[in-house]
């Protein structure tokens, strides 16, 4: 069983729609969670971090954490073609474990 699991996609949404990205993790000791965006051929770029149950909003991005369900999600509102990338979910407990990523395509 992978420690951090994501749907590999591709997830395709029309421009202006809400994109919903999901992630589950197996290590209950994980205390902090991150979403990174990675454009093809580039390095991951930090979008959001979340540490407590509930929602955390930053601009068009909302991260949601449910530790009881071991579930993390990222919502992207008003999706833009420039949001097209692979989104990596990560969980930290002594070291960072990354999911394989979900590829998002936003169609104009």
Name the site residues for another protein (rule: CB under 8 A).
Answer: 31-32, 34, 36, 42-46, 49, 88, 92, 94-101
Measured CA to CA, the distance from residue 23 to residue 89 in angstroms comes to 6
92: exposed, middle or buried (Cβ count in 10 Å: 0-12, 13-18, 19+): middle
Measured CA to CA, the distance from residue 106 to residue 108 in angstroms comes to 7
Q: Give min distance, CB of 69 to another protein, in A.
A: 21
Q: Give min distance, CB of 15 to another protein, in A.
A: 27
Whichever of 6 and 79 has its CB closer to another protein, that residue is: 6
Structure tokens at 58: 């930053």
Whichever of 17 and 61 has its CB closer to another protein, that residue is: 61
Whichever of 18 and 96 has its CB closer to another protein, that residue is: 96
In the block, tokens 């991260």 appear at: 63
């Amino acid at each position: 069983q992978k420690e951090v699991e994501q749907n590999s996609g591709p997830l395709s949404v029309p421009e202006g729609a809400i994109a919903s990205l999901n992630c589950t993790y197996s290590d209950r000791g994980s205390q902090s969670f991150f979403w990174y965006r990675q454009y093809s051929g580039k390095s991951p770029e930090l979008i959001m971090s979340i540490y407590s149950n509930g929602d955390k909003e930053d601009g068009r991005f909302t991260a949601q954490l449910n530790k009881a369900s071991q579930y993390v999600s990222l919502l992207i509102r008003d999706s833009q073609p420039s949001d097209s990338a692979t989104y990596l979910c990560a969980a930290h407990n002594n070291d960072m474990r990354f999911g394989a990523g979900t590829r998002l395509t936003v169609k104009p």
